[in-house]
Amino acid sequence: MNEPELLHTIQSPKDLAKLSAEQPERLAEELRQRIITTVRHTGGHLASNLGAVELTLAAHLALNLPHDKLIFDVGHQCYTHKLLTGRQEGFAKLRGDGGISGFPKMSESEYDCFGTGHASTSISAAVGFAKARDMTGGKYKVAAIIGDGALTGGLSYEALNDAGRMKSQLLVILNDNQMSIDRNVGGLDKHLTRLRASRRWHSAKRRVKGGLDRIPVVGSHLADFLELIKRKVRQFIVNGSFFESLGFRYLGPIDGHDLPNLTRVMRGALTSQYPTVLHVLTRKGKGDPDAEREPEKYHGVSLHPAKSDESPASEPKNDSRGGSVCGSAEQEFDCADCKRYVGEALVKLADKHKNVAAITAAMPIGTGLSVFREKYPERFFDAGIAEAHAVTMAAGMAAAGVRPYVAVYSTFFQRAVDFVIHDVALQKLPVTFLLDHAGFVEHDGATHQGIFDIALLQSIPELIILAPSDISELTRVIEESHNINAPVVIRYPKALPMKLDDDSADPFAWKTLREGGNLCVISHGAAMVNALIAARILDARGIQAEVVRASSIKPIDADAVNRIIKSKKSVYIVEETPRLAGLSAILAHEFAARGAGAPTTLGAIDGFPEQYTRRAFEEAAGLTPEAIAEAVEHGAR
Ligand SMILES: Cc1ncc(C[n+]2csc(CCOP(=O)(O)OP(=O)(O)O)c2C)c(N)n1
């Protein structure tokens, strides 16, 4: 007979107290199954969540939430936490329109005490909570869960360095699965490998000690002797942990899937009145044979439209590998994911030029660079989750005569802006930045939007910003960028149509894709195709609008702007931009400088777009072809 489900009886962490001693392990299995079945339908982060089930459940058993504070890093492993905190219903629509976020979010639940989506923030935030507690006489405990991948991010070290001198409770739970999205990189990973090895030594020692204890008299002496030399031998093997040298207590490593022991040790660790690191070993993808075998492939599972509600998404895709999403354009244009073509274009460039190098920040698959890594391993560099380091390292390489191409997502590039200004642009170094997922980003929600890069970069002198709107143009400007002796940003969305028009010879020249009357629509990037479809809709209504492709955002094409000002009555800019920023802001200024009224922006975004589908986003922003046509027609009247 099947036992009744435990999970549905857990509506808040308080219900965990009602479980018998054996039930938490059954609950862990139910959580794991719920995550597998849901994520296969909704898409989401599979492997990371499966590895963190026991870890999260143990934290819930050991802490008193929401009084105590549990802070996640990246947050992509928070599904168990969401299922235990009253969100089982919303979980069925995870990451979809109207569903819950795939990341912790303060506005979603009192149990999400700190939101996240970008890596390496948890220890800093936890230090903040602990300092606030100590300052205000609070009594709560603070714990951060951080992966070994997120620990490669620089902010983690700044926080560890600060926290090491604290003399109050702060628990850092290191979720070590030896993986970032891909294999983890760097010196700290080597150190963790040594610490992991100490676990094998510990368990061997425990076995020997247990055996000796059972031999009367001689055994206990020998065991004492063993205890005596323990510290020396441990030092020899582990050579002191990095965390201890910073002032932390270090516990572990322990098995992250042995729930009873994990809970016991975590409870103990939380009694420490000093900053403490608990090193927990987990297996990414645990419980799903495919995800265990290929955790990098199953890090994120893309939403594939299931054929029926019963059929799960068949082919899981990496975080960023999902099927192409061109929004409205998909029905009319042949669309594809950009990253594949970016990878191939870079390989071609490297075939031609020996000085070409490719850099990524922990996302070789997500940015399409894995093909480059295979062909040119000695010219490929993974900086870890360290976008700022990737940028300044590229500056150093460029200063030494190499032509580096740095491929990162637009949203993660945000944290490297000072380094772009100070190390690259100021020194006029020819580094090319390839910003993937620029513009609106589906499903991951507010933390992952790529809408801010133009706003953040447009004021930087010397920097060129190119925004191709089809894959043919994208690969061409990558090739062209090698001839440009200046820092260049090439920004592009996850997916684009293959070809909208023949490429212009000059990457800086704006091109008229469709002739029109005295109306003009200027666009770039993912929005371009909807502007074209809108012009066709208008044509059917007897209204002719010119459609201009603004391939270069900085510099703008001054000749094209002068011509448009002279010949057009109304000008519209169609782009995915925050209000008062982007090409719209640049053109408002340029038009005013020439004595013309500012063009009208369609699509300006107020606030942080949530986890919409592309279509829902276009509807909310007024960027569907119909909405664009409507607005232009209205202006024409
Ligand atoms: C600043 C930043 N850069 C890149 C990413 C993309 N990213 C999401 S998860 C991840 C790997 C995280 O590895 P780890 O912390 O070990 O967690 P695991 O998935 O292994 O549990 C990366 C690189 C990000 N979220 N934030």
Tell me the angle at which helices 122-136 and 154-163 cross, rounded to the nearest 10 degrees.
Answer: 30
Give 273-322 pLDDT, tens digit per residue. Answer: 999 999 999 999 999 999 999 998 888 887 644 333 333 333 334 333 33
Ligand 1 atom nearest to 150, measured from its CA: 15
What pLDDT, on a 0 to 100 scale, did the predictor assign at position 274? Answer: 96
Confidence of residue 348 (pLDDT cuts 50, 70, 90): very high
- CB of 48 sitting under 6 A from ligand 1: yes
Give me the mean pLDDT over the 265-272 stretch.
97
155 Cβ closer than 6 Å to some ligand 1 atom: no
Which among 401, 399, 393 is positioned nearest to 419, based on CA atoms?
Answer: 393
Kindly state if the Cβ of 173 falls inside 6 Å of ligand 1.
no
Residue range(s) of every CATH 3.40.50.970 domain in the chain: 23-289, 327-497
Query: What is the distance between the alpha carbons of residues 429 and 420, in angstroms, rounded to a whole number?
Result: 10
Question: Which residue has a Cα nearest atom 11 of ligand 1?
Answer: 180
Query: pTM of the prediction?
Result: 0.91
Query: No. of H helices and E strands in the chain?
Result: 24, 19
Parallel/antiparallel/unpaired status of strands 545-549 and 511-514: antiparallel
Task: Please give the pLDDT value at position 334.
Answer: 87
Atom of ligand 1 at shortest range from CA of 363: 23
- Asked whether 78 and 104 are in contact (CB, 8 A), the reply is yes
Least confident of 49-53, 100-104, 214-218: 214-218
Q: Which fold has domain 23-289?
A: Rossmann fold (3.40.50)
Give 218-266 as a DSSP string: HHHHHHHHHHHHHHHHHHHHH-S-HHHHTT-EEEEEEETT-HHHHHHHH
Strands (E), 539-583: 545-549, 552-554, 570-578
Q: Is the CB of 118 under 6 A from ligand 1?
A: yes
- Residue 313: the pLDDT is 38
544 alpha carbon – ligand 1 mean position (Å): 47
Sign for the CA dihedral angle at 253, 255, 256, 259 comes to negative
Give the pLDDT mean for 129-150: 98
Average pLDDT over residues 471-495: 97
What residues are annotated to the active site? Answer: 284, 387, 415
Average pLDDT over residues 3-24: 95
Which residues pair with residue 466 across a beta bridge? 490, 552
- Boundaries of CATH 3.40.50.920 in the chain? 511-636
Range with lowest mean pLDDT among 202-211, 352-361, 571-580: 202-211
Question: What DSSP letter does each residue of 284-343 carry, written as one string?
Answer: TTTT-HHHHH-TTTTSSB-----SSTTSPPSS---TTTPSP--GGGGGTS-EEEHHHHHH
Percent of the residues in the chain that have a pLDDT greater than 70, as a whole number: 89
483-494: pLDDT as tens digits: 999 999 999 999
pLDDT (0 to 100) of residue 385: 97
Q: Strand, coil or helix: what is 214?
A: coil
When pLDDT is cut at 50, 70 and 90, the band that residue 181 belongs to is: confident
Q: Examine the pLDDT at 550 and tell me if it is beyond 80.
A: yes
DSSP characters over 508-550: T--EEEE--SSEEEEE-GGGHHHHHHHHHHHHHTT--EEEEE-
Mean pLDDT on 391-404: 98
Question: Is residue 194 scored above 90 in pLDDT?
Answer: no
- Give the pLDDT score at 257: 98
pLDDT band at 235 (very low <50, low <70, confident <90, very high): low
Of 3.40.30.10, 2.60.40.10, 3.30.360.10, 3.40.50.920, which CATH number belongs to 511-636?
Answer: 3.40.50.920
User: Pick the residue with more confidence: 327 or 386?
Assistant: 386
Amino acid at 417: V
Q: Is the CB of 363 under 6 A from ligand 1?
A: yes
Q: Check if CATH label 3.40.50.2000 holds for domain 327-497.
A: no
Give me 572's structure tokens: 């519209």
Question: What's the CA gap between 55 and 279, in Å, rounded?
Answer: 11
Q: Average pLDDT of the chain?
A: 90
pLDDT of residue 306: 34
